[in-house]
Amino acid sequence: MVKRNLSSFGWRIPFRKIEFKTIGIYGEEIRWTAEIPANYNIEKNILGFTATTDRVLLSVNAQHYFYKPEDLDMFSKMRIESYLLHFLNIDKYVIVKHLLKENFCYYYISDETETWRLLGEWTLNQYYNISTRKEFYMAIEKVAIYPTRIEPYILTRIYRTFTSFVPEPAWLQEEIGLTDIVLSAMTKTLPGPQKYHRKIQYLL
């Protein structure tokens, strides 16, 4: 996890490809793929991953979004404060750069001593659940936390990781209701219990 001590973060380490697989309705399915520096520890989940060294955090994940589209800035701030408090024990920060446009929010944050940086992007995507026939939103969250002193060397690695994340077709199949539709169709086609009539013979 991100800590306050400084050590080599391996900026010359090559990248490696990662992916997340599950066994789903069509057999083995790849949910997403990405590239991260080979020396990072990684925790994967169905909606993304978190990669860390002793002082750098890279996270790309989809977040369920239950607010109005115009509340994306508020949502992003809540996520920033959660990251800073959890990983750095910081509750005060300085906004170095901020960009907000339709369905997109960008923040570039520093702590008060300019020791740490947080870089975050939130992209809001709208989807449709074919099972419930309802629209819903997911926020694609990309966050990096790193020491300020290594910024000139790590920014290219951060953006390569961010842009390498590719959702595969099976990525949100539960959220869009595809799994429910397929399972329901499979259940309807299964043969029901058959009735057997046993002929009884009477001996006279």
- Token pair listed for 202: 């009477």
Residue where the block lists tokens 């020396």: 39
User: Residue 70 phi/psi, 5° resolution?
Assistant: -70, -5
pTM above the 0.85 mark? no
164 vs 183: CA distance, rounded Å: 32
Task: Decide which of 1.20.1550, 1.10.10, 3.40.1000, 3.30.450 is the CATH code for 26-179.
Answer: 3.40.1000
At a CB cut-off of 8 Å and minimum separation 6, what does 57 contact?
Answer: 1, 2, 50, 51, 87, 143, 144, 145, 146
pLDDT in tens, 73-83: 999 999 999 99
142, 8 Cβ separation under 8 angstroms: no
Question: Domain-by-domain residue ranges, the chain?
Answer: 26-179
Residue pLDDT, tens place only, 140-195: 999 999 999 999 999 999 999 999 999 998 888 888 877 656 656 566 654 555 55
